[in-house]
Each structure stands twice: as C-alpha cells, then as structure tokens.
A and B are shown apart, each in its own frame.
Chain A
Amino acid sequence: MKTLKISILLLFIMAVGNAQNYPTGKSLLDKVDNNMSAKTRILTAKMEIADLRATRTMISKSYTIGDKKAYTEYLAPAREKGTKMLKLEDRLWIYSPSTDRTIQISGHMMRQSVMGSDMSYEDMMNDKPLLEQYKADVTGEETVDGRKCWVVLLTAIIPDVSYFTQKMWIDQEKFVPLKIEAYAKGGKLLKRTTLTNVQRIQGRWFPMSMVYKDMLKQGEGTKMTIQEVQLDANIPANYFNLGNLK
C-alpha cells in the first residue's frame, strides 16, 4: 500500500514537472501569430483538387489586409476564370462572370465547399483570433516530418464555432503549425490540414504547401501550393469594394 502511494506521488510530481516545462498555449499561439501575420498579403496559389474522378487545378490571386478584408480572383481554368470573391468582415460575396451576378454567401451556403475543394466558405471566413474562440493547452511533444512540435489542444469556449476541438502541431523552432486536426463535439475527426515546405519569406517562416482533407469526403484532398507571396505590400483600397467585383 505504501509503495502504491509513493508511486502515485512520483507520477504526479513527474506530470507536474513535465507540464511546467511546456510553454503555455497562449504564448505559443501568440508566437505563431507574430510569425505568420502580416499587415497585408498578396498570394498567387495553385489549388489542386483531387476528387474521385479527376484532379482539377485552379490558379488564384488573393489580396488580404489583416484578417478582415480579402479579395480573390481566379485566373484559371477557363470555366472559373474571372470568378471573384470579396470578404469584408463577416460578409462574403462571390461574382460569377458567366451570369454577371454578385451573390452574397450566407446561411447554409457557408458550409458549401469553396470551388469544390475540401475547404468550406465557413473555414475561409473564420477570422476570429483562435484565443477568442478556444482555450489552448499544450498537451505534449511529438515529431512531425522530422520536426519537433508542441501539441496544442484547443477547446471551444464559445458556442458558435465550426469545430469543437482542434489539435495543432506547432514547430518548436519556426512557430508554424505543421498539422491541424479539427474535431466535432462527439470526437469525430472532420478536417485534417498538413502544412509543408516552410520557407523564410521576408523574415517570417511561411508554409508554401498545404493539404486540406475533409475527412467526410472521399478523395485525396485539396493541395494548395503558394507560387508567389508578398507580405506587407501596398494594396489599393478599391480592391475591397463591391463595385470592383464586376
């Protein structure tokens, strides 16, 4: 009995000791933000959507100011060329050149897939800082693609979040998430994102390749490769105007 008590006490001390060596979840997320956030971003990206029948490739160019304003124009393929999206705060519009119509995406349409990819409009629109939506706890250390990572468990603290919990593997040196898993309240894995090819861009570490996988969809997922990135570049204000969509 005495041995058992000592063992439990030792395990407790070890656990507390280990936890004390971990950084706090908040400090880690702040470091990720400091590394990856920029005042403005201009990205040219290639999106490869591998569904059950074929892989489709799209090229888009997006202009972002902070996390509130974003404008994206699709450059290829021909069917999607000229399609534009404008995000202002929590509102999203899409312009379709074939119909010459601008439609605001709202309600259940937000759960639809962006251009058939594994990403939903809701995912795209979620711009609230993670710490305003989740409690962050560092739960351990793991290696992802040969890189040592902190494992951070995010648990929702507000009711209207898309994913009740998220698990994030954050590179211990570059402070870039290398893997993110999003779960439903019942524990079902809904989305998995893997981020690779982390490069130094204008003094920041930036993942140049991402694979989004909607776990409820068949297919291999959506691969996004950043072809060109400019951080803190000057973006004309008229890009974020509804009138600019047509």
Chain B
Amino acid sequence: MTVFLQSYMSGIFADSIETTAKFSSGHVKVMTEAYKENQTQIPNDYAIMGIAGVMKNLKTTYPDMAWIDRIQFGGLLDAPDSAGMTRSQGNVMGMGIHLLGNQDEITRMDLKSKLLTGRFPVKKGEVLITDELFRKMNLKLGDKVTLISNSMYGDMAMYNFKVCGTLHFGTAALDKGMIMADIEDVRVALNMENAAGEVLGFFNDSPYVDSKAKELSSEFNKDNSKKSDQFSLTMLPMSGIGGMDFIIAYSENAQYIIIFIFVFAMSIVLWNAGLVGGLRRYGEFGLRLAIGENKHEIYRSLIGESILVGLIGSFIGISIGLVFAWLMQHYGLDTSGMMKNSNMMLPSIIRAQITTTTYFIGFIPGVLSTVIGAMLAGIGVYKRQTANLFKELEG
C-alpha cells in the first residue's frame, strides 16, 4: 500500500505541475523585465520584439530545451448579425499558439482531448473557442466573429476569425471565455509583427526539476537581464511564476507528509505484530534460558530474526506494490468522464509515477516496525528469573 500510494501521489503531483507548465508557465519562461513585473495584466506593450532572433539564440544556446513562443491577450469577441451590427458579445481571454504547420502545441497542451466539436485550425483566420462561450454567443461552426482587443501599441485592434471548433477544459475560468488561434493570426490582429509576449522553455529529457530550472534561469539572467532596462530579457523558473512556488513546494513535500502519516499507521500495526510475535514465544525463550542460553544472545537473535522477516516481508510487499504502481503508471486511470464538470485542471488520464523513493519507502514500515516491535517484546527476556523458569514452564 505504501509503495502504491507513494507512486500514485508522485504521479498526481507531477502530472498537475506538468499540465500547468505545458499550458501556461513552461518549465522556464522568458519575457521582458517590464512584462514580468506586470504579468498578471498580460502587458503586450512590453512584449519581446525581434522574436525570431530571440528564438534562434535560445535554441542555439540551450539545445537541450524545447522553446516555444506564445501570445496571451484579452478582449471582446463580437458576433455580427446579417447587417454587420453586433448580435452578441463576450469577454475573452485568448492565446496565440503555433497551430498551423505542426501538431507540437496540440500534443503538448493535450488539446485533442479538449476538442469538443469541429476541428483544429487548418488555415489562417480560424479560431477555437470554448463551448460555454460558443453557446452563450449563440454561434454555429463556421460563423464569423470579430476580436476586439488592444494592439501592442495600446490602440484598439479588430480582427475577423471564423469559428472552426469548440473546446472544453473542465476549468470554469477557462471555459468561461477562452479562445485559441494560430500565433501568426494573433500577431496580425494585435499589430505584433515579429513579437511575442513570452517564450516557454521545456526540459526535453525530464519533467520539471526546480533546482535545474533555477540554475538555468540564473545563468540566463546573468547575461541578459538588466533591472535598469525594462525591455531586457529575463528568465523565470516555474516556481517563480505567480503562486507556483507554493504548489511546487507543496508537491515536493506533501507526498512525504501523507506517506509519513500512512507509514506511521502501518508501523503501529506491524509493531503490534512484532510485539504479539515476541509474547507468543514467551515459553520458547524460557526454555532457551533454562538450558543455559545467554539473555543477550536471545535478544540479538530475536532482533536478527525480525530484520530478516522484515526484509523478506518488505521485499514481497514492495514487489506487489510495484506491480500495481507500474500498471497505474503504464495504463493510468481515465478520469475524463468523471472530470467533465470538474473545476480542477488535471490531465484526463491520472498516472502513478515510480521514482527512486518508491523502491525503498516500503522498507520503512516493513523493517523498522517489526524490529521495534521485536525489540520492545524482547525486553521481557531480561526480566525472566532463572529460579522461576521451571516453575513457569510447569505452569
């Protein structure tokens, strides 16, 4: 149980962090100093200019990372009537991502599982909107909608899109009014030629590792970031982005807290088992003392046996736990049906994650508890009086 629970908790937390990274924060995020300071307001007036050069540099300097540019924006979506006047409107949060040409972002953000109706954009001028907004604005697939937003220079920007599909994220904040379009369309719409709000970086060879992300950020900032220049580039590790530090620290420690509680409960059970085992051998110890065996030898042999039993038991327990953990890691648990109306942003398939800890955590309750139980039970050996042994044995 301990082994399975540890791998399950590791899996849940790792998946949640990875989902957030892939969707919004990256393992690291590059932006301008001023954008970083105001990032909750999505200040595209502080966007990164000359993004093609910035992307080229990042890919050359850090070839072990995957780099992707994105634009976030807010605005109004306006649907016209037959006369071209406003029929319905909705507030939207938007994201410009690479949708045309390759499937990388669709795969990274697991958008296939979120596509409810229609299809992904296949040509310029197409947009995905959330099903909730789609219904609220009384739209049909193929309808023309106009995005009204602010350009990078602060003036009003208007751009026409055709709705090609609807999305369902299972998160109220996103489902209320999220739209997604190809980043090149968003660049034209918001007058952001060769610019992007942010660049997300992902470790190619591993999931998020806070120390690695912090080291990378500090190395990048040493060469690029200048507090005095608000347009200088700065890199933030995921743990440095709006509240993520708490989630990452929580994920790193919460599993141990939960495991500790579980291990503690299991230890009491196994400790009792050791204690009962020791007491049931009361007669055997008496006989061994009566035939002249030393008390220390009996105590040592009792502990030695408990270590052996603990190791064998833990080995069997860990092996069984690992089988279940592997099944959960490999096949996962598809919760998409259950999560349809959920407000949590979690992957549709929950998986366990077997880590190094998984291999040894089972030994903690397995060995320690039996040994402590045996040690406590064995104390009774020292209280036995040789003179009373035969009397006790007769009884």
Listed A/B pairs (10) with beta-carbon separation below 8 Å: A51-B153, A51-B154, A98-B159, A100-B84, A103-B158, A112-B150, A113-B150, A113-B154, A116-B153, A116-B155
- Taking CB atoms and an 8 Å cut-off, the chain A residues in 48-105 that contact chain B are 49, 51-53, 56, 79-80, 94, 96, 98-104
Are A116's CB and B84's CB within 8 A?
A: no
A52 to B84, CA, bound (A): 36
B272 lies within 8 A of chain A by Cβ: no
- Taking CB atoms and an 8 Å cut-off, the chain A residues in 29-44 that contact chain B are none
- A contacts, CB < 8 Å to B: 49, 51-53, 56, 79-80, 94, 96, 98-104, 109, 112-117
Are A79's CB and B154's CB within 8 A?
A: no
Q: Name the A residues within 8 Å of B158 (CB-CB).
A: 96, 98-99, 101, 103
- B contacts, CB < 8 Å to A: 45-46, 49, 76, 78, 80, 84-86, 146, 148, 150-151, 153-156, 158-160, 191, 230-231
> In the complex, which of the residues A52, A98, A102, A112 contacts B45, with contact meaning CB atoms closer than 8 Å?
A52
CB distance from A108 to the nearest CB of B (A): 9
Are B78's CB and A103's CB within 8 A?
A: yes
A172 to B99, CA, bound (A): 63
Q: Name the A residues within 8 Å of B231 (CB-CB).
A: 52-53
Q: Name the B residues within 8 Å of A100 (CB-CB).
A: 84, 160
A101 to B83, CA, bound (A): 10
Are A113's CB and B160's CB within 8 A?
A: no
Are A51's CB and B45's CB within 8 A?
A: yes
A interface secondary structure, majority = loop
A100 to B85, CA, bound (A): 11
CB distance from B38 to the nearest CB of A (A): 11
CB nearest to B49 among chain A residues: A53
Are A104's CB and B86's CB within 8 A?
A: yes
> In the complex, which of the residues A49, A53, A94, A102 contacts B156, with contact meaning CB atoms closer than 8 Å?
A94
Identify the interface centre among B78, B84, B148, B153: most chain A CB within 10 Å of its CB: B153
A96 to B86, CA, bound (A): 14
A113 to B152, CA, bound (A): 12
CB distance from B186 to the nearest CB of A (A): 14
Also in contact, A79 and B191, with CB within 8 A (given A101-B146, A102-B85, A116-B151): yes
CB distance from A88 to the nearest CB of B (A): 15
A79 to B45, CA, bound (A): 18
Are A103's CB and B154's CB within 8 A?
A: no
Q: Name the A residues within 8 Å of B151 (CB-CB).
A: 116
Q: Name the A residues within 8 Å of B160 (CB-CB).
A: 98-101
A52 to B229, CA, bound (A): 11
> In the complex, which of the residues A98, A101, A116, A117 contacts B78, with contact meaning CB atoms closer than 8 Å?
A101
Q: Name the B residues within 8 Å of A112 (CB-CB).
A: 150, 156
A100 to B230, CA, bound (A): 37
Q: Name the B residues within 8 Å of A104 (CB-CB).
A: 86
A98 to B146, CA, bound (A): 11
Are A102's CB and B49's CB within 8 A?
A: no
Identify the interface centre among B84, B85, B150, B158: most chain A CB within 10 Å of its CB: B158
Q: Name the A residues within 8 Å of B148 (CB-CB).
A: 103, 109
Q: Name the A residues within 8 Å of B49 (CB-CB).
A: 53
List 4 extra interface pairs beyond A56-B153, A103-B78, CB under 8 A: A52-B231, A96-B158, A100-B84, A101-B160
CB nearest to A51 among chain B residues: B153
Are A99's CB and B153's CB within 8 A?
A: no
A96 to B148, CA, bound (A): 10
CB distance from A131 to the nearest CB of B (A): 32
CB nearest to A114 among chain B residues: B155
Q: Name the B residues within 8 Å of A80 (CB-CB).
A: 155
> In the complex, which of the residues B86, B150, B191, B230 contacts A103, with contact meaning CB atoms closer than 8 Å?
B86
